[in-house]
Structure 1
């Protein structure tokens, strides 16, 4: 055998050895079965299955907890800092955009361009109203008589134009109702509440910051209620506020309204960002009358 032929064979063998080694190393590095640790358990992989979606990752809910007056350049602006006690009043405000000008184009959500809420600092007072907007973008929210205390006022809306078009917002400001406030202790957590002869029962194991189903069942005199009428394009509207800071959450209904025969069971998409007690306000309508049931729900 010539020396040149021997050299070629040696080079070929070396190349084959290098290739085999590279394949072996690649196979070890890309194995889908992780190596066992000293404890005999597999280490956690960075690509493990994601957890349940949190409120911040879900696009269907308004961003944040509503405790700020400004978000992404949009502001709930008002010159009103006090409201009278014991009589109806109108709260005037505007929603200004990133350019500082009042926003006048809004997307309709549950039959309204803007939803407005008033909640007392101890969560015992609640109002959900729908303001009217003047051509210049000034809104006026009609409020029933308020009791002396600090109240937080929320506006939820979706701009139809501008940089925030299509995004859901919830903003708030506080007002003072003069007088001597008499705070009440928040009722204990319960899955049942009664209002106007109706019994509301909640079913669902909620965890903070995670999406969970929540079921509401409505009965009267021990019998299922099946004559719920549409209210805001659904059979019930559910709003929640966190004890201590009044953080806001709107629990979206998944039960669609189709005629005056809703009930007795309604499904909701529940996402409550914080652990602790939440005060829930369920609004539903029968025979043209709106009912509001309130109950406390504890979230782990």
Structure 2
């Protein structure tokens, strides 16, 4: 599996999109599949990005007054988290873009494979009518070229990345809170050299197969020092049944690794 920020080659749109308006999505909700919620909107003039080379995606968050938001609360060491995911749930990228004084953000993306991509921004406004509320908004972009769809791997409890075996344990039911445990081993031995990453020992996000709905699974294992692991705990509440693609990011020896596996959630 590739490391963080790597782009993996990657079925159709989310079902929430208006095809007559590129990048504009349907009804607001908390699954991230809309560009607007409670007066806040994710705006961008980028409806397409080039394939075969790195690209910059520029966007802004506007508030209920229509003006760009420039004050954001810090969440897991960052003011805004940005994710790019292809419609078949490959090509995952998790970035921390930079913001200009006028509120324009720039996300420097690695090479994107041709196809339909969804760009997510997660943030909490600092003050204003939406202050202290967590938002997940997204827009779609098209990357031109011949698109090859990758079949979602079957649900499995383990995967390997960069020599580390990741084992996920937890039986999840849609809409209910469950604990989720991740264990890391290397050559059969427990991994105990995890370094803090974004204020914790691991970052875990999930995308729903079929529509790419977004969920962030919150860590409950505190981070202190460079001797984390091998067991990590997460608070998991996935809203819809079916398969979800999980992306676990963790750091060892100064390098961030990204492990991906498919988890089935009961109805």
TM-score (norm 2): 0.89
- From 54, 58, 66, the counterpart of 1:92: 58
- Separation in structure 2 between the aligned mates of residue 138 and residue 184 of structure 1, nearest angstrom: 33
Q: Find the structure with the greater CA-based Rg.
A: 1
Determine whether 1:291 maps to 2:257: yes
Per-residue CA shift, 1:212-259, capped at 9, x if unaligned?
000000000000000000000000000000000000000000001000
- Separation in structure 2 between the aligned mates of residue 84 and residue 198 of structure 1, nearest angstrom: 33
The unaligned stretches of length 5 or more in structure 1 are: 1-62
Question: Once the 2 structures are TM-superposed, how far is the Cα of residue 86 of structure 1 from its aligned partner?
Answer: 1.1
Partner of 1:277: 243
Question: Once the 2 structures are TM-superposed, how far is the Cα of residue 161 of structure 1 from its aligned partner?
Answer: 1.4
Equivalent pairs counted in the alignment come to 238
Structure with bigger helix share is 1
- Separation in structure 1 between the aligned mates of residue 58 and residue 127 of structure 2, nearest angstrom: 22
Superposition misfits of 4+ residues, deviation over 4 angstroms:
none
Determine whether 1:214 maps to 2:180: yes
- Separation in structure 2 between the aligned mates of residue 193 and residue 252 of structure 1, nearest angstrom: 20
Per-residue CA shift, 1:161-219, capped at 9, x if unaligned?
11000000000000000001000100000000100000000011100011100000000
- From 104, 110, 117, the counterpart of 2:83: 117
Partner of 2:166: 200
Partner of 2:130: 164
Partner of 1:106: 72
TM-score (norm 1): 0.79
